[in-house]
Structure formats: structure tokens, C-alpha cells
Structure 1
Amino acid sequence: MQLRHDPVYPSRRSPVLADNVVATSQPLATQAGLTILQQGGNAVDAALATAAVLTVVEPSGNGLGSDAFCILWDGKELHGLNASGRAPAAWSPERFPDGMPDTGVDTVTVPGAVSAWVALSQKFGKLGLATVLAPAIAYAEDGFIVSPTIARLWSIAAETFADHPGFAETFLPEGRAPKAGERFRNPGAARTLRAIAETNGRAFYEGEIAEEIASFIQSHGGALTVEDMAAHKPDWCGTISAEFGDTELHEIPPNGQGVAALMALGILEHTDIRSYGPDDVQAIHLQIEAIKLAYRDLHAYVADRDHMTEIDETALLDPTYLKSRAALIDPTRAVDHGAGAPKRGGTVLLNTADASGMMVSFIQSNYAGFGSGVVVPGTGVSLQNRGAGFNTTPGHANCVAGGKRPFHTIIPGFAMKNGAPLMAFGMMGGPIQAQGHVQLLLRTQLWDQDVQTAADAPRWRMIDGLDVACEPAIAPEVLDGLRALGHRITVESPDNAFGFGGAQLVHRLPDGGYAAGSDPRKDGQAAGF
């Protein structure tokens, strides 16, 4: 039997409707979340269980060395958590004369995901870390059967990371990546997860695990220290938002790219996009142009919020400024826009919701699949390469510096309506994420598509200049229409699921309960009871 990651025939899932729901990119993680809910846990407990299991069963997208962000509705109010890590204190532009590397020990920033688990459990959880981490510990120790999409991504990573410190020892048993249908065990991860549960995370940041991480990095020429690890703290940062009609989209404030989704929506408010259908040429053209304008400003100004001293998110989201940016959109042709001048002022995504009304959008990532490619022996900790998100441009807000957070791609999304929670959602997949948030929000709120239809729909991705990548499921006449407007269209293979993201959505229903959808580009599953 051949276990495929790419469907031979078109497949259409229905949305899952239930009072308690979990949507993730891997079925074992989804089921772990449901188990925790059935044991009396709430949506936060379920989110933490799924997040921990995903570090084991989807190592191609995240791990114990990841960063994380969260937006959640606790039943009364909305909260935002930034658990991204900072650069080692010893980093400076002088350390990187050839620019920031993409992989290796000098891309490793402090991993923040574990601190997110601890903070969320302490503030909102009911069951405690020992209970919610138990499913992940079991899969790490006893093994799990590798799923098709993850097996493919794992094999690609093996070609890149086989010679990176510690990678082969942990992730290439028998000298190769495991195939779909084979069982994989990670006893080092089980050990680390147990230490996290027993010490409420302290072992990871101050104890034996922290010491092993820092020692291994330094032995290979990296700068991360135990002091860097111990200094890490997550921030309850709240959210920033923008309105589109009567819907509010909420994002985490910088250092993430969520502000670009808000800018694009604010720009689209000043267009006639409501005159078109979801798959019309003009609707896609307007979205591409709005995203293009937003991304120019994103890369010009967005960084660690503490270092955005000249232009901050308030200036970027100023309604007058966004209206002026919208005026630059030509409905008859594509334009290669530059950055504006506002006034001064791989990844896993999961959603959970419970019958009490709590809703969670949580995202964690190693950045580039297995991240830096560096894995600490005996711990199962694959370390992120978030340092690659910095630049070395003097005076730029995102210029590398010790103790600074890099620009981040991973963003959870949350929609509100009339002061009430509406949708916890998001999309893994690097630079498509803010673009994907816009596409998902418009499909569900403007064009009234259900969450599974919105996840199934073909996507486009602005690359740079006039270049746009599109999925082959977009109608040929639409692609021709975009080309006629001046967009340089490339049609990418269905195999490039990462490039077009992996969406998970949980939408509140008018009469109670939720509709959940999971992206067919991943191995995932939405389920509930």
C-alpha cells in the first residue's frame, strides 16, 4: 500500500460541527486535544496538549526549540501572548560580516514555546502541565506512525540538515528520514517533556536542559548561554486590530507580521472589493495590490516593538495613511509599489474551543521546518533559526542586536464581531501567513463561505515586485486575467503545500457550538464532540 501525501482525486471535507472542537495539522494531535477536553480540561489545556504532541509528531514544522504566540478568548475578554525568544546577548552586526546565516548555531535564538505553555497553563489552564503533556510524552517514548505529508517534508530536510550538529543522531534513524507508515521514537524528547512537566518549565530555562542546550551550542561555536536562557520571559502583550465592515481582525503586535494583514484590510476598505465574488479576477487583483503595499511597509519598518522608535504600528494603521495607500491601487494594472512614509507615531497552527465559550488560536514554529538544523543530543530539542529573521543594515529597526527579538513570520489570528468572539484561525507557512489571514477572513466574512470551504479554496501568494505564485486549482481564465493586468504569474506544483500554507479555523455558530475546518494541504484533522 502506497501512503501518499498528495491526493490523486479531488477531495472535499465538510466542516465539523460540535460544542467542543480541535483543529490541527496532524490527527494524533487533534485527538490528544479532544482527550484532554473529555478529561475535564478547557480549550487552553487542549491547545497545550496538541501543541506538545505536535512537537513530537510534526517535527518538520516545530519542536521543543520553537517560539510561540497565542490569542485567546477566556469567556470574557481577549488576550495576546508573545513568547518569542531574544537573540543571545553576544550578538551584534559585527558578528555577521556576511549577513545573517540561514541555518546553524548562529541562527539560534532563545526558544520561547515552552514558556508559552507554562504561562498559559498557569493563567488559564485547569489540569496542569503533567496531565496535558502526558500524550506527547507517550508518543515520544512509545513512538508514533509517521504521516504522509510530514514524511515528505522530513525527507527534504534530511538532504539539508544531515551534517548539522546532532540532527542525524535524533532524526535520521538508520541514516535516513522515516517513511510514511513507519514508527518513530524520540526518547530524548520524552525526557525533556517530563522535565518540563515536573519543574513547570524551570528545567528548560534554568536547569539541566538549559545547560545542555547552551553547552552544545557553544561547543559548536554559537553564542547562546544559560544566562540568555534564564533571562527569557513571555509577554502578555494584548492585540492590535483593524475593522472590515462589522468584523474586527485581531493580531499580535510587532515583532510579528500580523500588522500587515491589518494594513491590507484597512486598505481594502477603501476599494470596491465588495462588488466582486471570491474567485473573480478583480477581487484577487485588489487583494494582491493591498498585500503588496502592506508588505512593503512591513519589511521597511516592523521589528521588535521596543526598537520601532520612529514608525510604530499606530502610524502604520492610521486610517488616513491607509486611505492614501489605497489610492495608489490601479484597478486596471499591477504596480510594483514601494514603501510608504507613515507619520511617526514550516510552523504549526492550531485552534481549540470548548463549550464554556473559551477559544484559542495558538501557533508555534522552528521557522524553517527543522529550524537551525541543530539538535541537542539526548534532549530531542531541535532549535529554531529565528536569528535568520534579523538583518545587518545599520539603523534599520530590525538590525541584529543582543537581547533583541527578531522579526517574526508566525502569527495567530482572531476575529471579533460586535464585541463577541467570532473565529479563532490562522495559517502556517512563513510569508504567506498575513496574506492567508486576509484571504481566510474575506472568504468567511465577506463572501460567507464555511470554514472548510475557505480552507479548501485555492490560494495565491505575493512574492515580490510583480511576481505572484498561484495554485493550479485557480481557474485558467482567472490566471489569464491576472496576467493581463500585469501580474507575473507562476503556477506552483500542488506538492508545494508549505508555500500556500496550512489553515485551521474554528468559527462560533449563532446558536452555540462551533464549525471547525482543517486544511487538506496537511495531514490534519478537525474533530469535536
Structure 2
Amino acid sequence: MNFSFDAMSYPYASRRSVVYGRRGMVATANPLAAQAGLEILKQGGNAIDAMIATAAALTVVEPTANGIGSDAFALVWVKDKLYGLNASGPAPAAMTLEALQSRGFKEMPVLGMLPVTVPGTPAGWAALSKRFGRLPLSQVVEPAARYAEEGYVLQPAVGSGWPRNLAKFSKAIETDKSVQGWFDTFLPGGKCLGPGDVLVLKDHAATLREIGATNAESFYRGALADKIDAYFRQFDSFLRKEDLAAYQPQWVEPISVNYKGYDVCEIPPNGHGISTLMALNILKELDLGPVDSFRSTHLQLEAMKLAFADARRYVADPDYMTVPVERLLSDEYAAQRRACIGDRARLPEPGDPIRGGTVYMCAADGEGNMISYIQSNYMGFGSGVVVPGTGIAMQNRGNNFSMDPESDNCVAPGKRPYHTIIPGFLCKDGKPVGPFGVMGGFMQPQGHLQVVLNTVEYGMNPQAALDHPRWQWVGGNTIEVEQSFPNDLAQALQRAGHDIVVKADPIGFGRGEIIWRNDEGVLCGASEPRSDGQVAVW
């Protein structure tokens, strides 16, 4: 691929430009984490080593979005092949529908220990390091451990997350003392932190070093597993060391659709990257018209709504899905769903496929290796559970299970929940173009769709593709848009039945990064203007 976009064309408000490099590049939403990855590249590591270093650092410097107790997914390009890694964890053996019902729950709990599934991130780091890394894992996590041990300064977007999380966990602790660890860890001296404050996480540093020294064995079958087990037993919750010991991440075959000559690649379910692919499949036979036109935006919205409706109905742990991925991505089913789109907004309903659907980072090196990686505790800090003496902040991914016995995604022991975090990767003619991603819960596939169309359909450079004003479907016919979204377009969509809500805070519209590589090996990177993002280049 050669860069065909105008690198100096910035039609949207931004203080950023694309970044070029050749020897290596790391892009993520936090400059400290990006620098950790660049440090490992300069120590002789490859893109995969750099990505693990960045991911480990993000558990330290961006705890508002992820932690050591996260889940993760990756798409890795090495030696002319794209590999997928699913490092999301299953429900513990004791997490049954009946057990939750017996505790009075009719919907999955949100905070505390009960929604915690087996964390996959440490095992994911170890698996990536073992298969593709060049440096020892202990060396790769050291920059992150150093940040934690010596203390680091909270960046603006990260620091702004403390007050709202303090309010949330202050309410939760009234009935659930298992979230006390959040206060002990993230409110030093009882102070609510903010941008520019310094946070020291010595327990976190020791845990990172133990994970590095044992290639994550301690977390799943050693001393760290014992500490996790003891804390969950203290509160009579589900997770046990036997659940941790049984866990292994899975190498998976990426799924893709071809859109205008580009292969758009995602991780297969239990993630919902398939919803981006279903929407692209619906759109690929349509004339979208100019960028920011009513036709283009309306068609994108309706296609995304249909894809989401299918994903919420059919996507689950693949061992439990009643509809195969191949059917959801078939041209026949795309045509069936395409026929549902009219000139006005409509409430989406799942189709019938049987008849006839966080922190992100990417890195690249001078050898051609590239990686798209994402990890998350789900809702901000996650469950609020921090295992004492370890700094391990646990996700609350079990909240994405259903408690409907008829659902493919109904909670069950050993089953992985519907997952919102998705890395993306673009290829053309069997060659890598590069990794991309937009983090942010259910915004992620919508962000993927908008970024792909901005670059492939409309020829924007990576930074312009991220700067472009975003929309987000949030349910019914309600569409949230950024303040920079064109007013005349918003009014046209409103007349067509879309309920347009202008949001003052851009944080809900996702945070993304992109790295493209051309045929000469030149790297072109972009970072998110809605966050503290940085492209670190060598």
C-alpha cells in the first residue's frame, strides 16, 4: 500500500498532525505508556514487546480504564500472517444462574466481586511474549513497574475520572465492603486525585515484577493466585484459585469482510467486532454519497443499528452460539438486512440469519511486525475490587452476561461473556495496512465503522479520520453527537426520525489510535484528540 491521502489536509478542528517514522512506533491514549513501549523498542524489543510494555504501563498510568485484572484481545501481524489472541476469561465454576438468583439478582450485578470473571490479561501478555516476543517478560514490564514504584503524574483525561468514580464507589461501599480496596489504593490519604497529582502504587509494582519473573504463572497457579483466592473467599464470592489455574488464553483465526478492496479484520466472538463487519457488509453495495451528507450518515446509522441488534441477540461465547459467524457475515444475510433500511430511522430488531449478528494501543517496528491490542476493566476502574497487597484491580466483565435462560449469552460456569473490547486491523491484497482501534464500551464497533469509512471510503489521513466528529447510537432511535457535529446534518437526521442529542463531553465518543504502513516501510500514526494520546516514534 502507498499513502494516497493528503497528509496536510485537516478539515476538522485538531491540534495534531500525522506522525511519520520508520524504525518503530507506539500509539496509545497516554504519553507515559507510549514512552514505555518506545523504551523497550530501543532496548532491542520488537513491536510485540513494545505493546506488552505499553499495556503493562497503562495498568499503572490509566487505572480509570484498565488494570492487572483486565481482559485483553490482540491482532498480530508477523511474517506475512495475521494472528488473533483472545485473552478474555470465563465465568468461575460457582457463577451459575441459580447462584445469582438465590442472592436476589434478576440482572447481572455491576460492582463488587460477583461480576468478576477470570482475568485474562496477564496470561495474554505471557502468551504474546512466548510466541512472538524477543525480550524476557521481566524486562518488558519493568518500565511499568518503575512508574508504579516511583510514582507518576496523572494526565488530564485520566485525572478527570477520579471524582465521578469516587461518587460511584462511595455509594457502592455502603452495601458492599469488597470495594474498600479501591479507596485504599486510589485515594491516598483519603484525597480525591485529579490532573497533575502524583500517584504511587508500590504493591502494583511488586505484582508486575512477579508476573514478569514467573511469566504470569504466579497470577494463575502461584502466590498471587492464593491472594486472590483468599480475598474472594473472605466475601463468599465466586472466583477461586482453581478457576485461575484452569485458564489459558486462546489463539483464534481473525474474521474479516472485504470493503472496497480492503480486508477489515476483527477478533471473532465472544467479542462484538463482528458487528462492525456486519454493518460494512450491509453498506458495501450502497452508494453512500459525500462525507457528512445526510444519505451517508443515515445509512451508516441504520446499518450499525441492525448489526448491533443482531450482535446483542446472537453473539456469545462461540461454544454456545446457535448461529454461526459465517452466516452472520454472509452476503445473503447482508442483503436481507440491507433491505430493512428506508429513508427514515427505525427501531432495530434482530434478523433471522437461519432464514435464506477500555484501553487501546498499537505498535509497529522496522521489521514489519505490527500489533493491534486492547485491554479493559470494562466500566472505568472495573468492579472496584482491588486485591489487598497486590494492586490487582479486577474487571466486572460478568456484567455483560444475560440472566435470560433462553439467551445464548446466559451466564454459566466456564462460559465467556459477550465482550465489548475489540482490536481492528486493515489489510489490502494480502499485505498489512495496519492496526486501528477505538476504545469505549459499546462505542467501539461504531468507532471502528466510522474510522474505516473515513479512511477507505473518503480517503482521509489517519489523524483526520480520528478528528472527524462522531455519532453514537445508544438505543431506540436516540443518536448522540459531538458538539462539533454539523448542525445542518443533525437537523436533517432529526427530520428523518433520529432523536439527536448533542453531548458536551467528548469522552463518550471513544478514544482511538491508528498506525498505517506503506510499501516502503514508512509508518504513519495518529492519536486521539479526545484524550491524552501520543504517537511515540523512533
3-state SS, counterpart of residue 165 of structure 1: helix
3-state SS, counterpart of residue 490 of structure 1: strand
Matched, 1:446 2:449: no
Q: 2: distance between equivalents of 1:423 and 1:400?
A: 35
Contact 1:73 1:421 in 2 (8 A): yes
Q: Specify the code of the residue in structure 2 equivalent to 1:528.
A: V
Q: 2: distance between equivalents of 1:441 and 1:221?
A: 46
2:187 is matched with: 172
Q: 2: distance between equivalents of 1:383 and 1:300?
A: 27
Contact 1:443 1:454 in 2 (8 A): yes
Q: 1:278 offset after TM fit, Å?
A: 2.1
2:281 is matched with: 266
| Correspondent of 2:487 among 453, 470, 476 | 476
Q: 1:197 offset after TM fit, Å?
A: 1.1
Alignment of 1:437-516 (within 5 A): 437-493=448-504, 495-497=505-507, 499-516=508-525
Q: 1:101 offset after TM fit, Å?
A: 0.6
| Correspondent of 1:13 among 12, 16, 21 | 16
2:338 is matched with: 326
Stretches of structure 2 that go unaligned for 5 or more consecutive residues are: 1-11, 174-178
Q: 2: distance between equivalents of 1:31 and 1:280?
A: 39
Q: 1:177 offset after TM fit, Å?
A: 2.7
Deviates most, 470-479 or 510-519 = 510-519
| Correspondent of 1:239 among 241, 254, 268 | 254
Deviations 1:440-474 (A, max 9, x none): 01111111101111111110001112111101101
Deviations 1:49-78 (A, max 9, x none): 000000000000000000000001013200
Q: 1:94 offset after TM fit, Å?
A: 1.4
Matched, 1:89 2:96: no
3-state SS, counterpart of residue 114 of structure 2: helix
Matched, 1:73 2:77: yes
Q: 1:487 offset after TM fit, Å?
A: 0.4
Size of the aligned set, in residue pairs, is 514
Contact 2:303 2:341 in 1 (8 A): yes
Matched, 1:429 2:440: yes
3-state SS, counterpart of residue 505 of structure 1: strand
Q: 2: distance between equivalents of 1:146 and 1:410?
A: 24
Q: 1:481 offset after TM fit, Å?
A: 0.9
Q: 2: distance between equivalents of 1:72 and 1:15?
A: 23
Q: Given the two structures, how large is their TM-score scaled by the length of structure 1?
A: 0.95
Contact 1:108 1:387 in 2 (8 A): yes
Alignment of 1:27-46 (within 5 A): 27-46=31-50
Contact 1:75 1:356 in 2 (8 A): no
3-state SS, counterpart of residue 319 of structure 2: helix
Q: 1:10 offset after TM fit, Å?
A: 5.2
Matched, 1:181 2:196: yes
Deviations 1:10-33 (A, max 9, x none): 542001100111100100111111
Q: 1:496 offset after TM fit, Å?
A: 4.2
Matched, 1:316 2:328: yes
Contact 2:14 2:467 in 1 (8 A): no
1:121 is matched with: 129
Q: 2: distance between equivalents of 1:40 and 1:365?
A: 28
Deviates most, 149-158 or 375-384 = 149-158
Q: 2: distance between equivalents of 1:435 and 1:366?
A: 20
Q: 1: distance between equivalents of 2:185 and 2:348?
A: 45
1:379 is matched with: 390
Alignment of 1:69-468 (within 5 A): 69-97=73-101, 98-162=106-170, 163=173, 164-273=179-288, 276-308=289-321, 310-330=322-342, 332-343=343-354, 347-468=358-479
3-state SS, counterpart of residue 31 of structure 1: helix
Q: Specify the code of the residue in structure 2 equivalent to 1:144.
A: Y
Q: Specify the code of the residue in structure 2 equivalent to 1:57.
A: V
Q: 1: distance between equivalents of 2:422 and 2:498?
A: 27
Q: 1:277 offset after TM fit, Å?
A: 2.1
**Identical-residue share of aligned pairs (%):** 46
3-state SS, counterpart of residue 337 of structure 2: helix
Q: 1: distance between equivalents of 2:74 and 2:127?
A: 11
Q: Specify the code of the residue in structure 2 equivalent to 1:187.
A: K
Q: 1:344 offset after TM fit, Å?
A: 7.7
Q: 2: distance between equivalents of 1:512 and 1:406?
A: 39
Structural RMSD (CA): 1.3
Stretches of structure 1 that go unaligned for 5 or more consecutive residues are: 1-8
Contact 2:13 2:467 in 1 (8 A): no
Q: Specify the code of the residue in structure 1 equivalent to 2:60.
A: V
Q: 1: distance between equivalents of 2:376 and 2:263?
A: 26
Q: 1:39 offset after TM fit, Å?
A: 1.2
Deviations 1:224-263 (A, max 9, x none): 0000011110000110111111001111110000110000
Q: 2: distance between equivalents of 1:139 and 1:33?
A: 13
Q: 1: distance between equivalents of 2:72 and 2:291?
A: 31
1:60 is matched with: 64
Q: Specify the code of the residue in structure 2 equivalent to 1:378.
A: G
Q: 1:96 offset after TM fit, Å?
A: 2.2
Q: Specify the code of the residue in structure 2 equivalent to 1:525.
A: Q
Contact 1:440 1:455 in 2 (8 A): yes
Deviations 1:281-322 (A, max 9, x none): 2111110000011011001111000111x2121111111111
